[in-house]
């Protein structure tokens, strides 16, 4: 295990970050080529020089929640498959695609990869007009791009709509042009309408977790704020008299982050917990803390 970690720590890890649907997968190989990177991680796949060498496309998942979980390698078996490929192919550098810096961090953590060498943002390589067109393809037509040739993924996407997309871009005078083929697919979930998780579901999860922490008597109030990066959580709790306040709140916060991300695949931004009072013998004996 120590030898494996030493091996993986030698990989130079780069990130390519941009909001969903702005054209990251479309430009992934161009960015990789410009930074002399041969390996790419995109939505659950490990790709080497236009060839899928490990993983299963998260875009193949039947629901969007499973898609996100697959992209983050939350399943230990899926993560181990990628780490096994690292040990086999010994990549010198790797490009990870993600919708946010926090998503990149989660992928690195789950795959036990070292700190980033460099982060490239979609705004560094695409114009506003190009990103808007990519969003239109995603939102209106339900199309997603995978940065590998069509023949590479047909066996895994039987029954899906696939179209080859030839790319030819000049990198400048007297420089080798960038030529590649992408594949466009329409995942199953793109026909199922929008995907949302209600605030009520998140509040139920939080209340359930509070019941599993001995030092918390009950939830007093919960507020959920959703952003493009995930959710921010504010909770007021009533504590049980006689328990260590700091320990109880720290344990509860840790559970909230871990379980909400695991159960919903949503990024948790901030979790603020306020001790509103202390309960003894079913009676409130102190006010806000």
The CATH fold assigned to 2-191 is: Rossmann fold (3.40.50)
The CATH number of the domain covering residues in 199-286: 3.30.70.1350
At residue 130, the pLDDT reads 81
Q: Which residue has the higher pLDDT, 140 or 192?
A: 140
Q: How is the chain split into domains, by residue range?
A: 2-191, 199-286
Q: Tens digit of pLDDT for each residue in 132-171?
A: 876 665 554 445 554 544 334 444 444 444 444 444 444 4
At residue 265, the pLDDT reads 61
At residue 164, the pLDDT reads 43
Q: Tens digit of pLDDT for each residue in 33-79?
A: 889 999 999 888 898 887 788 988 776 666 667 777 888 999 999 99
Whole-structure pTM value:
0.54
Q: What is the 3-state secondary structure (H, E, C) of the chain?
A: CHHHHHHHHCCEEEEEECCCCCCHHHHHHHHHHHCCCCEEEECCEEEECCEEEEECCHHHCCCHHHHHHHHHCCCHHHHHHHHHHHHHHCCCEEEEEECCHHHHHHHHHHCCCCCEEEEEEHHHHCCHHHHHHHHHHHHCCCCEEECCCHHHHHHHCCCCCEEEEEEEECCCCCCCCEEEEEEEECCHHHHCCCCCCCHHHHHHHHHHHHCCCCCEEEEEEEEEEEECCEEEEEEEEEEECCCCHHHHHHHHHHHHHHHHHHHHCCCEEEEEEEEEEEEECCEEEECCC
Structure confidence at residue 251 as a pLDDT band (50, 70, 90): very high
At residue 280, the pLDDT reads 81
Q: Do the domains spanning 2-191 and 199-286 agree at the CATH topology level?
A: no
Between the ranges 50-64, 176-190, 257-271, where is the mean pLDDT highest? 257-271
Separation between Cα atoms, residue 240 and residue 283, nearest integer Å? 10
Please compute the mean of the pLDDT values over residues 218-236 and round it to a whole number: 87
Separation between Cα atoms, residue 242 and residue 102, nearest integer Å? 37
Mean pLDDT of the chain: 76
Structure confidence at residue 29 as a pLDDT band (50, 70, 90): confident
At residue 159, the pLDDT reads 41
At residue 197, the pLDDT reads 66
């Amino acid at each position: 295990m120590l030898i494996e970690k030493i091996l993986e720590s030698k990989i130079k890890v780069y990130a390519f970050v941009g909001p969903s649907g702005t054209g990251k997968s479309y430009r992934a190989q161009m960015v990789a080529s410009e930074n002399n990177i041969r390996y790419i991680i995109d939505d659950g796949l490990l790709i080497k020089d236009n060839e899928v060498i490990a993983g299963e496309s998260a875009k193949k998942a039947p629901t969007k929640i499973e898609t996100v979980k697959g992209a983050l390698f939350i399943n230990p078996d899926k993560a181990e498959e990628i780490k096994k490929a690292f040990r086999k192919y010994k990549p010198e550098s790797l490009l990870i695609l993600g919708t946010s810096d926090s998503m990149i961090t989660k992928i690195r953590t789950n795959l036990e990869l070292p700190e980033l060498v460099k982060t490239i943002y979609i705004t560094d390589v695409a114009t506003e007009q190009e990103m808007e067109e990519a969003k239109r393809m995603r939102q209106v037509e339900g199309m997603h791009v995978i940065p590998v040739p069509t023949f590479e993924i047909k066996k895994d996407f039987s029954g899906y709509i696939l179209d080859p997309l030839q790319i030819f871009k000049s990198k400048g005078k007297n420089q080798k042009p960038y030529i590649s083929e992408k594949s466009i697919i329409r995942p199953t979930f793109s026909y199922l309408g929008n995907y949302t998780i209600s605030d009520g579901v998140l509040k139920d999860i939080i209340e359930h977790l509070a019941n599993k922490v001995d030092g918390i008597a009950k939830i007093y109030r919960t507020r959920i704020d959703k952003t493009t990066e995930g959710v921010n959580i504010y909770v007021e709790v009533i504590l049980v008299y006689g328990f260590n306040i700091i320990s109880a709140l720290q344990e509860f916060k840790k559970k909230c982050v871990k379980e909400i991300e695991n159960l919903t695949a949503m990024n948790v931004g901030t979790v603020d917990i306020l001790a509103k009072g202390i309960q003894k013998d079913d009676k409130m004996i102190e006010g806000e803390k």
